[in-house]
A and B are shown apart, each in its own frame.
With several copies, the nearest count.
Chain A
Amino acid sequence: MRAAEQLAQGLRMTYREACRQAIREALNDDPRAFLMGEDVGLYGGCYAVTKGLLEEFGPERIRDTPLAESAFVGAGIGAALAGMRPIVEIMTCNFSLLALDQIMNNAATIPHMSGGQFAVPLVIRMATGAGRQLAAQHSHSLEGWYAHIPGLKVLAPGTVEDARYMLKPALADPNPVLIFEHIVLYNAEDELDPAVTSVDISSAKVRREGRDVTILTYGNSLPKSLEAAETLAGEGIEAEVVDLRVLRPLDDATIFDSVTRTRRCVIVDEGWKSGSISAEIGARLVEERFFELDAPLRRVCSREVPIPYAGHLEEAALPQLPQIVEAARSLMGRK
């Protein structure tokens, strides 16, 4: 049935299916791997990512947990310390705040604090982002904020390919890796390149080349940025779109290389502007590439509000195409 399913769907799949395939692969490849979280089993995953996996792997490897984020995230850390390779799903990053003590004070700290005696080879997956009118307590974009914490790696797949192939290296990594899957992307569909069977989780990736201006982005702002680049191309502005995809540690080399070439930079980030990952990149630019920049930085981020339910307000709160286009244009001295 697995093979049949793969065959049936070929290499065209949704981001959701890509996440599922990645989990399936991880569990098949490593007997120490298991998935744990709320409603990952019986319910099939709150965004249907894990549908069918309980039947396939059984309740020990697809472990439904009670509502107890701190305990089961901490249990993931403990299991990792003791030799397992847990994949913990926090239903959405909004609930991850309940587990932050475990993430910061234990997962991110114990390897260093124990003098390297213990590693925490753990993956924590969570859904992130806004755009489905779920209101303030269900619309956070916290990936950039988590990127502040030493000892963590933070990934944000923005393509079906990354959703498909990031989990394996993340689980093979000896460090706690947080993967943020954007809720709006789950339905995104793409054809996978059969030649690609893995992705690198240490580097950003140029998704579109361009000489005039660099657009740095990730997650659900990536498709928006690519669309903006198309619009800009129509006006003769060639934007280079860089998918950060690794938010910690940031891939300075790729970022600086692009900005040094284009000498202009727009950052598009669904996090609240102040203190988002766009802030850190901006600071690095003014520290490290000050003389290479021809124009001020422009940031297109979420407005600094709890994201409202009403559609028009939510839309106004999030980075949108026209703002990205306008930002790039303004850097080129256009109106």
Chain B
Amino acid sequence: MSEKPHLDRAHGQHLFKEMLRIRRFEARCAELYQAQKIRGFLHLYDGEEAVAVGIMQALEERDAVVATYRDHGHAIARGIAMGPLMAEMYGMLEGCSRGRGGSMHFFDRSKRFYGGNAIVGGGLPLAIGVALADKDLRSGAVTACFFGEGAAGEGEFHECMNLAELWQLPVLFVCENNLYAMGMPLEYAEAETDIYRKASAYRMPAEAIDGMAPIAVEAAARRAVESIRTGNGPYFLECRTYRFRAHSMFDAQLYRTKEEVALWKARDPLSRMQAWLQESHMLSSDDLARIDGEVEAEIDEAVAFAEAGTWEPVEDLERFVLMDEVPE
């Protein structure tokens, strides 16, 4: 896989469509939450789509992903079918985690998707372990580990950064810095607000990039993955981004101003990408309509799949508390 993204028409449209799939999927989820089809916590990725989409371009099938509770974007961009994702939101047996995980806990073994994790920082040690296994097994695989800037406060962040560099593990750390951890503004949470600078305490290569620009993210991810695969150890990307909506569905957003949100919305990765593709004559209005239609159809299908889902029998409640065997 070469280092630079191919900025041709097809790839440009692909990036745009991937982001749109996430945006629309989540918009539908928000509606379904109001309709009480989806329950529990629902954390939307709205505004941050460029990060997941950009990063996933650099990953291959053999690579692994560790995500957070804000995992819709990661799962969709990783290529997990929307039907099982939506069914999971519904709590259906046909969901990607049998309906047991819900929005925060998408899993997919076939995609090496090691779960949305709802403990902030809790996924980092898992990523270290997956990467350690891949290194020991000489698989050449890279583990992309996503987390918010809030996770940088946790001790596990520190422990894992050190282990990864010390043991030269193939991990791509992707910090989604959206400036808030729930209602906690970064500058109230960290003495050093340039998160990527923390990597220097572990001698890990790191950079901060524009997380609202899928091409920039992709380019950085390709560089980083290349470096990791070459055997240079882990790499750290701080993606500067913003969530347009509330932290979860229970959030009055007292901690930020409408003006600030508006400023960031002006940098919406979707509309900017669309405008740029159109200006560059890489996206006609026909293309746009086609993409739009495909995405809507995909989501409708996913919802239909979820609606047609079944409930896991209550008798199976205890199944897999203890496993009978290790799945192959």
Taking beta carbons and an 8 Å cutoff, which residues of A are in contact with B? 34, 38-39, 42-44, 46, 48, 60, 64-84, 86, 94-95, 98, 101-102, 105-106, 110-119, 121, 132-138, 150-151, 153, 174-175, 249, 303-306, 308-313, 316-317
Chain A residues with CB under 8 Å of B319's CB are 112, 116
Contact B117 A137 (CB under 8 A): yes
Contact B159 A70 (CB under 8 A): yes
Closest 9 CB pairs of A and B: A78-B129, A74-B125, A43-B183, A115-B98, A309-B102, A310-B91, A71-B159, A82-B133, A66-B153
Number of interface residues of B (CB under 8 A): 79
Chain A residue at minimal CB-CB distance from B125 = A74
Contact B119 A78 (CB under 8 A): no
Given contacts A46-B182, A67-B121, A309-B99, contact A74 B39 (CB under 8 A): no
Q: Does B323 contact A (CB under 8 A)?
A: yes
Contact A71 B91 (CB under 8 A): no
Contact B326 A121 (CB under 8 A): yes
Chain B residues with CB under 8 Å of A306's CB are 100, 321
Given contacts A70-B159, A75-B132, A114-B97, contact A309 B105 (CB under 8 A): yes
Contact A71 B125 (CB under 8 A): yes
Contact of B125 among A67, A102, A115 (CB under 8 A): A102
Contact B128 A74 (CB under 8 A): yes
Q: Compute how far the CA of A301 lies from the CA of B131 in the bound complex, rounded to whole angstroms.
A: 39
Chain B residues with CB under 8 Å of A64's CB are 184, 188
Q: Which of B13-21, B48-56, B107-115, B213-221 contacts A (4 or more CB under 8 A)?
A: B107-115
Q: Which of B3-11, B160-168, B277-285, B286-294 contacts A (4 or more CB under 8 A)?
A: B160-168
Chain B residues with CB under 8 Å of A78's CB are 66, 114, 125-133
Q: Compute how far the CA of A65 lies from the CA of B132 in the bound complex, rounded to whole angstroms.
A: 13
Contact of B109 among A38, A84, A117, A310 (CB under 8 A): A117
Contact B40 A309 (CB under 8 A): yes
Contact A112 B100 (CB under 8 A): yes
Q: Does B181 contact A (CB under 8 A)?
A: yes
Chain A residues with CB under 8 Å of B327's CB are 116-119
Contact of B321 among A39, A76, A86, A305 (CB under 8 A): A305
User: Closest approach, in angstroms, between the C-beta of B325 and any C-beta of chain A?
Assistant: 5
Q: Compute how far the CA of A76 lies from the CA of B136 in the bound complex, rounded to whole angstroms.
A: 13
Given contacts A39-B184, A74-B124, A117-B327, contact A66 B320 (CB under 8 A): no
Chain B residue at minimal CB-CB distance from A108 = B321
User: Closest approach, in angstroms, between the C-beta of A84 and any C-beta of chain B?
Assistant: 5
Contact of A115 among B100, B120, B121 (CB under 8 A): B100
Contact B126 A42 (CB under 8 A): no
Interface centre among B119, B130, B185, by most chain A C-beta atoms within 10 angstroms, is B119
User: Closest approach, in angstroms, between the C-beta of B250 and any C-beta of chain A?
Assistant: 8
1/0 per position for B144-168, CB-CB distance to A under 8 A?
Answer: 0000001101111001101100100
Contact B153 A308 (CB under 8 A): no
Given contacts A83-B133, A116-B327, A313-B317, contact A42 B154 (CB under 8 A): no
Contact A174 B324 (CB under 8 A): yes
Q: Does B259 contact A (CB under 8 A)?
A: no
Q: Compute how far the CA of A240 lies from the CA of B245 in the bound complex, rounded to whole angstroms.
A: 49
Chain B residues with CB under 8 Å of A305's CB are 317-318, 321
Chain B residue at minimal CB-CB distance from A307 = B100
Chain B residue at minimal CB-CB distance from A114 = B107
Q: Compute how far the CA of A83 lies from the CA of B327 in the bound complex, rounded to whole angstroms.
A: 10
Interface centre among B122, B188, B250, B251, by most chain A C-beta atoms within 10 angstroms, is B122
Given contacts A71-B163, A174-B323, contact A310 B119 (CB under 8 A): no
Chain B residues with CB under 8 Å of A77's CB are 125-126, 129
Contact A80 B109 (CB under 8 A): no
Contact of B40 among A38, A75, A132, A174 (CB under 8 A): A132
Contact of B100 among A34, A42, A132, A309 (CB under 8 A): A309
Chain A residues with CB under 8 Å of B98's CB are 115-116
Contact A67 B317 (CB under 8 A): no
User: Closest approach, in angstroms, between the C-beta of A49 and any C-beta of chain B?
Assistant: 12
Given contacts A66-B189, A67-B154, A119-B325, contact A113 B107 (CB under 8 A): yes
Contact A94 B318 (CB under 8 A): no
Contact A71 B124 (CB under 8 A): yes
Chain B residues with CB under 8 Å of A105's CB are 119, 122
User: Closest approach, in angstroms, between the C-beta of A27 and any C-beta of chain B?
Assistant: 13
Contact of B64 among A82, A134, A136 (CB under 8 A): A82
Q: Compute how far the CA of A105 lies from the CA of B108 in the bound complex, rounded to whole angstroms.
A: 18
Chain A residues with CB under 8 Å of B126's CB are 74-75, 77-78, 81, 106
Contact A308 B100 (CB under 8 A): yes
New A-B contacts (18) at CB < 8 Å, excluding given A82-B133, A135-B102, A249-B322: A42-B183, A66-B188, A67-B181, A71-B128, A71-B160, A79-B133, A110-B115, A114-B97, A116-B319, A117-B97, A118-B327, A119-B326, A132-B40, A133-B91, A134-B41, A306-B321, A313-B100, A316-B317
